Amino acid sequence: MALTSQDISRVANLARLELRPDETEHTLRQLNGFFALVEQMDAVNTEGVEPLAHPAAVLGQVALRLRDDVVTETNQREESQKSAPAVERGLFLVPKVIE
């Protein structure tokens, strides 16, 4: 099943990416080449197989740890905002979203 340029535009929008028209064509060709490779997966019978997320789960259950619900971080607002593109009075600035 080949992708169309509409698919590319839809996916780019979902991913919040903007492709130039020539990039859309190029990306379409490359993604179709890639999905031809992915079709090999259809031939594998996976009925009743559980998906594997944490690789070590193959050996048995991997417990999700819980830590104590206590404050461990100190306030590092200034250091954290040092690399922000636009900051004012400790707040991240974005374009107006509510009229």
Partner 1 sequence: MSHTDLHDLSVAQLAAKLAAREVSSVEVTQHFLGRIRQHDSLGAFLATDAEISLAQARAADARLAAGERTPLLGVPLAHKDIFVTRDFPTTAGSKMLENYRSPFDATVVARLGVSSGAGMVSLGKLNCDEFAMGSGNDNSAWKPVQNPWDTTRVPGGSSGGSAAAVAARLVPAATGTDTGGSIRQPAALTGITGIKPTYGRCSRYGMVAFASSLDQAGPMARSALDCALLLSSMAGPDPDRDSTSLDLPALDYATDLIAASAATTGTTPLKGLKIGLPTQFFGAGCSADVLKTVRGALAEFEKLGATLVDVSLPLTELSIPVYYVIAPAEASSNLSRFDGVRYGHRAAAYTDLTDMYKKSRSEGFGDEVTRRIMIGTYVLSHGYYDAYYLKAQKIRRLIAEDFQKAFAQCDIIAGPVSPTVAWKIGEKSDDPVANYLADIYTLSSSLAGLPGMSVPAGFGEGGMPVGLQLIGNYFKEAQLLGTAHQFQLATDWHLRRPTGI
Residues at the site binding partner 1, with contacts judged by CB under 8 A:
3, 7-8, 11-12, 14-19, 27, 30-31, 33-34, 37-41, 44, 46, 49-56, 58-59, 62-65, 67, 72, 76, 79-86, 92, 94-97
Q: How far is the CB of 25 from partner 1 (least distance, A)?
A: 13
**46, 45, 16, 19: which is closest to 30 by C-alpha?**
19
Asked if 46 and 30 count as a contact pair (C-beta separation under 8 A), the reply is no
Q: How far is the CB of 45 from partner 1 (least distance, A)?
A: 9
Asked if 54 and 62 count as a contact pair (C-beta separation under 8 A), the reply is yes
